[in-house]
A and B are shown apart, each in its own frame.
Chain A
Amino acid sequence: MSEANAKSMSIIVTKGSLDWGYPPLILATTAASMGLNVTLFFTFYGLALLKKKLDVQVTPLGNAAMEMPMMGMHMAMPNIIGMIPGVDSMATSMMKNMIKKKGVASLEELRDLAIEAEVRFIVCQMTMDLFEYKQEDMIDGLEYAGAATYIETATQSEINLFI
Protein backbone atom coordinates (compact mmCIF):
# COMPACT_ATOMS: atom_id res chain seq x y z
CA MET A 1 0.00 0.00 0.00
CA SER A 2 0.83 3.62 -0.42
CA GLU A 3 3.52 3.08 -3.02
CA ALA A 4 4.10 6.34 -4.80
CA ASN A 5 3.34 4.94 -8.24
CA ALA A 6 0.42 2.75 -7.19
CA LYS A 7 -2.90 3.20 -8.91
CA SER A 8 -5.74 4.80 -7.00
CA MET A 9 -9.46 4.29 -6.63
CA SER A 10 -12.11 6.44 -5.00
CA ILE A 11 -15.71 5.57 -4.23
CA ILE A 12 -18.51 7.90 -3.19
CA VAL A 13 -20.55 5.93 -0.66
CA THR A 14 -24.13 7.22 -0.50
CA LYS A 15 -26.12 4.26 0.84
CA GLY A 16 -26.25 2.86 4.35
CA SER A 17 -28.34 -0.28 4.22
CA LEU A 18 -27.08 -3.79 4.87
CA ASP A 19 -27.10 -4.73 1.19
CA TRP A 20 -25.76 -1.43 -0.19
CA GLY A 21 -22.97 -1.39 2.37
CA TYR A 22 -21.26 -4.35 0.76
CA PRO A 23 -20.19 -3.15 -2.71
CA PRO A 24 -18.05 -0.20 -1.58
CA LEU A 25 -16.42 -2.15 1.25
CA ILE A 26 -15.77 -5.24 -0.89
CA LEU A 27 -14.26 -3.16 -3.68
CA ALA A 28 -12.23 -1.03 -1.28
CA THR A 29 -10.69 -3.96 0.60
CA THR A 30 -10.02 -5.91 -2.58
CA ALA A 31 -8.44 -2.96 -4.39
CA ALA A 32 -6.27 -2.23 -1.34
CA SER A 33 -5.13 -5.86 -1.28
CA MET A 34 -4.19 -5.50 -4.94
CA GLY A 35 -1.94 -2.57 -4.12
CA LEU A 36 -4.22 0.37 -4.95
CA ASN A 37 -4.54 3.47 -2.81
CA VAL A 38 -8.21 3.63 -1.91
CA THR A 39 -10.34 6.53 -0.72
CA LEU A 40 -13.96 6.24 0.40
CA PHE A 41 -16.03 9.43 0.56
CA PHE A 42 -19.09 8.88 2.76
CA THR A 43 -22.04 11.18 2.20
CA PHE A 44 -25.73 11.18 3.14
CA TYR A 45 -26.92 7.69 4.16
CA GLY A 46 -23.44 6.27 3.67
CA LEU A 47 -22.57 7.71 7.08
CA ALA A 48 -24.64 4.94 8.69
CA LEU A 49 -21.75 2.59 7.83
CA LEU A 50 -19.40 4.59 10.05
CA LYS A 51 -21.27 4.46 13.33
CA LYS A 52 -19.41 2.78 16.18
CA LYS A 53 -22.48 0.66 16.73
CA LEU A 54 -23.25 -0.55 13.25
CA ASP A 55 -26.99 -1.16 13.01
CA VAL A 56 -27.97 -1.33 9.38
CA GLN A 57 -31.04 -2.93 7.89
CA VAL A 58 -32.26 -4.18 4.56
CA THR A 59 -35.70 -3.40 3.19
CA PRO A 60 -37.68 -5.23 0.52
CA LEU A 61 -39.70 -2.02 -0.07
CA GLY A 62 -39.25 -0.72 -3.58
CA ASN A 63 -36.76 -3.46 -4.31
CA ALA A 64 -38.41 -5.47 -7.06
CA ALA A 65 -35.38 -7.71 -7.58
CA MET A 66 -35.03 -8.76 -3.97
CA GLU A 67 -35.88 -12.40 -3.54
CA MET A 68 -34.78 -14.59 -0.68
CA PRO A 69 -33.84 -18.22 -1.26
CA MET A 70 -36.28 -20.37 0.65
CA MET A 71 -36.62 -24.14 0.63
CA GLY A 72 -35.06 -24.43 -2.80
CA MET A 73 -37.20 -21.65 -4.22
CA HIS A 74 -37.07 -17.88 -4.21
CA MET A 75 -39.51 -15.72 -2.34
CA ALA A 76 -40.15 -12.15 -3.45
CA MET A 77 -41.95 -9.70 -1.21
CA PRO A 78 -44.68 -7.47 -2.63
CA ASN A 79 -44.44 -3.86 -1.46
CA ILE A 80 -47.59 -4.21 0.61
CA ILE A 81 -45.88 -6.88 2.72
CA GLY A 82 -42.70 -4.82 2.95
CA MET A 83 -44.77 -2.04 4.50
CA ILE A 84 -45.86 -4.14 7.47
CA PRO A 85 -43.99 -3.19 10.65
CA GLY A 86 -41.36 -5.76 11.51
CA VAL A 87 -40.81 -6.98 7.97
CA ASP A 88 -37.59 -5.01 7.61
CA SER A 89 -36.09 -6.48 10.76
CA MET A 90 -37.24 -9.95 9.65
CA ALA A 91 -35.64 -9.45 6.23
CA THR A 92 -32.52 -8.12 7.94
CA SER A 93 -32.11 -11.13 10.20
CA MET A 94 -32.80 -13.46 7.27
CA MET A 95 -30.10 -11.76 5.26
CA LYS A 96 -27.65 -11.80 8.19
CA ASN A 97 -28.24 -15.54 8.60
CA MET A 98 -27.61 -16.07 4.90
CA ILE A 99 -24.45 -13.98 5.08
CA LYS A 100 -23.12 -16.10 7.94
CA LYS A 101 -24.11 -19.39 6.33
CA LYS A 102 -22.52 -18.57 2.98
CA GLY A 103 -19.17 -17.51 4.44
CA VAL A 104 -19.69 -13.87 3.46
CA ALA A 105 -17.88 -11.37 5.68
CA SER A 106 -19.94 -9.18 7.99
CA LEU A 107 -19.94 -5.44 7.27
CA GLU A 108 -18.09 -4.87 10.56
CA GLU A 109 -15.38 -7.29 9.45
CA LEU A 110 -15.02 -5.64 6.04
CA ARG A 111 -14.92 -2.21 7.63
CA ASP A 112 -12.17 -3.35 10.01
CA LEU A 113 -10.24 -4.88 7.12
CA ALA A 114 -10.54 -1.65 5.14
CA ILE A 115 -9.16 0.36 8.06
CA GLU A 116 -6.37 -2.16 8.53
CA ALA A 117 -5.50 -1.86 4.82
CA GLU A 118 -5.15 1.91 5.27
CA VAL A 119 -8.16 2.78 3.16
CA ARG A 120 -8.75 6.50 3.56
CA PHE A 121 -12.18 7.36 4.99
CA ILE A 122 -13.44 10.87 4.25
CA VAL A 123 -16.73 11.87 5.88
CA CYS A 124 -18.94 14.58 4.46
CA GLN A 125 -19.01 17.29 7.14
CA MET A 126 -22.19 18.75 5.64
CA THR A 127 -24.02 15.46 6.21
CA MET A 128 -22.73 15.37 9.80
CA ASP A 129 -24.35 18.78 10.34
CA LEU A 130 -27.48 17.99 8.34
CA PHE A 131 -28.32 14.80 10.23
CA GLU A 132 -26.88 16.09 13.52
CA TYR A 133 -24.40 13.25 13.86
CA LYS A 134 -21.69 13.51 16.51
CA GLN A 135 -18.08 12.62 15.89
CA GLU A 136 -18.04 10.57 19.09
CA ASP A 137 -20.73 8.29 17.63
CA MET A 138 -18.50 7.51 14.67
CA ILE A 139 -15.51 5.19 14.50
CA ASP A 140 -12.04 6.67 14.89
CA GLY A 141 -9.64 7.50 12.11
CA LEU A 142 -12.08 9.45 9.95
CA GLU A 143 -11.26 12.60 8.02
CA TYR A 144 -14.03 15.20 8.12
CA ALA A 145 -14.08 17.25 4.93
CA GLY A 146 -16.13 18.31 1.96
CA ALA A 147 -16.62 18.03 -1.77
CA ALA A 148 -13.40 19.85 -2.68
CA THR A 149 -11.32 17.29 -0.80
CA TYR A 150 -13.08 14.50 -2.67
CA ILE A 151 -12.67 16.19 -6.04
CA GLU A 152 -8.95 16.67 -5.48
CA THR A 153 -8.63 12.96 -4.67
CA ALA A 154 -10.78 11.98 -7.64
CA THR A 155 -8.63 13.92 -10.09
CA GLN A 156 -5.68 11.80 -8.95
CA SER A 157 -7.50 8.46 -9.18
CA GLU A 158 -7.72 6.09 -12.11
CA ILE A 159 -11.01 4.66 -10.85
CA ASN A 160 -13.84 6.78 -9.44
CA LEU A 161 -17.12 5.10 -8.54
CA PHE A 162 -20.45 6.25 -7.13
CA ILE A 163 -22.39 3.74 -5.09
Chain B
Amino acid sequence: MSDKTVLDVKGLNCPLPILRAKKAIKDLAAGAILEVQATDPGSVKDFDAFCRQTGNSLLGQQEAGGVYTFQIQKN
Protein backbone atom coordinates (compact mmCIF):
# COMPACT_ATOMS: atom_id res chain seq x y z
CA MET B 1 0.00 0.00 0.00
CA SER B 2 1.37 3.35 -1.02
CA ASP B 3 0.86 6.33 1.27
CA LYS B 4 1.92 8.76 -1.42
CA THR B 5 -0.59 11.37 -2.55
CA VAL B 6 0.00 13.09 -5.87
CA LEU B 7 -0.89 16.75 -6.38
CA ASP B 8 -0.88 18.04 -9.95
CA VAL B 9 -0.38 21.81 -10.08
CA LYS B 10 1.09 21.88 -13.58
CA GLY B 11 0.26 25.12 -15.38
CA LEU B 12 -0.47 27.02 -12.18
CA ASN B 13 1.57 30.03 -11.19
CA CYS B 14 2.69 31.59 -7.91
CA PRO B 15 1.29 31.35 -5.28
CA LEU B 16 -1.20 28.62 -6.28
CA PRO B 17 1.22 25.63 -6.17
CA ILE B 18 2.11 26.46 -2.56
CA LEU B 19 -1.50 27.16 -1.55
CA ARG B 20 -2.73 23.90 -3.11
CA ALA B 21 0.11 21.96 -1.49
CA LYS B 22 -0.68 23.43 1.91
CA LYS B 23 -4.29 22.36 1.53
CA ALA B 24 -3.29 18.84 0.48
CA ILE B 25 -0.82 18.46 3.36
CA LYS B 26 -3.49 19.44 5.87
CA ASP B 27 -5.47 16.31 4.99
CA LEU B 28 -2.50 13.94 5.33
CA ALA B 29 -1.49 11.90 8.33
CA ALA B 30 1.89 12.62 9.91
CA GLY B 31 4.62 10.79 8.00
CA ALA B 32 2.61 10.60 4.79
CA ILE B 33 4.17 11.84 1.59
CA LEU B 34 2.81 14.37 -0.84
CA GLU B 35 4.23 14.41 -4.33
CA VAL B 36 3.76 17.78 -6.04
CA GLN B 37 4.10 18.11 -9.79
CA ALA B 38 4.59 21.72 -10.93
CA THR B 39 5.71 23.64 -13.98
CA ASP B 40 6.39 26.96 -12.23
CA PRO B 41 10.20 27.37 -12.15
CA GLY B 42 9.80 29.62 -9.09
CA SER B 43 8.42 26.67 -7.16
CA VAL B 44 11.91 25.17 -6.87
CA LYS B 45 13.03 27.80 -4.38
CA ASP B 46 9.55 28.25 -2.94
CA PHE B 47 8.93 24.66 -1.87
CA ASP B 48 12.33 24.71 -0.18
CA ALA B 49 11.36 27.79 1.84
CA PHE B 50 7.81 26.52 2.44
CA CYS B 51 9.08 23.25 3.91
CA ARG B 52 11.65 24.96 6.12
CA GLN B 53 9.04 27.37 7.46
CA THR B 54 6.31 24.79 8.03
CA GLY B 55 8.55 22.07 9.45
CA ASN B 56 7.68 19.53 6.78
CA SER B 57 10.52 17.62 5.11
CA LEU B 58 11.41 18.09 1.49
CA LEU B 59 12.66 14.58 0.79
CA GLY B 60 13.60 15.22 -2.81
CA GLN B 61 13.03 17.14 -5.98
CA GLN B 62 13.53 16.31 -9.64
CA GLU B 63 13.05 18.04 -12.94
CA ALA B 64 12.11 16.27 -16.17
CA GLY B 65 10.81 17.87 -19.34
CA GLY B 66 9.88 21.11 -17.62
CA VAL B 67 8.00 19.40 -14.80
CA TYR B 68 9.33 19.84 -11.28
CA THR B 69 8.47 17.07 -8.85
CA PHE B 70 8.73 17.49 -5.10
CA GLN B 71 8.36 14.84 -2.39
CA ILE B 72 7.20 16.39 0.85
CA GLN B 73 6.78 14.41 4.04
CA LYS B 74 4.33 15.73 6.57
CA ASN B 75 5.77 16.07 10.04
Contacts and interface: CB of A to CB of B under 8 A. Distances in A.
Contacts, number: 35
How many B residues touch the partner, as a band? 10 to 19
Interface string B18-43: 11011100000000000000001000
Interface of B: 11-16, 18-19, 21-23, 40, 50, 53-54
Contact of A34 (B14, B16, B23, B54): B54
B19 A33 contact: yes
* Residue in B11, B13, B16, B23 with the greatest tally of chain A CB atoms within 10 Å: B16
Interface residues of A, number: 11
A103 interface: yes
Interface centre among A33, A34, A102, A113 (most CB of B within 10 A): A33
Given A29-B19, A113-B19, A34 B13 contact: no
B14 A26 contact: yes
B11 A30 contact: no
20 contacts: A26-B14, A26-B15, A29-B15, A29-B19, A30-B15, A30-B18, A33-B15, A33-B19, A34-B50, A34-B54, A103-B11, A103-B13, A103-B16, A103-B40, A104-B14, A104-B16, A105-B12, A105-B13, A105-B15, A113-B19
B62 to A, nearest CB: 21
Interface of A: 26, 29-30, 33-35, 102-105, 113
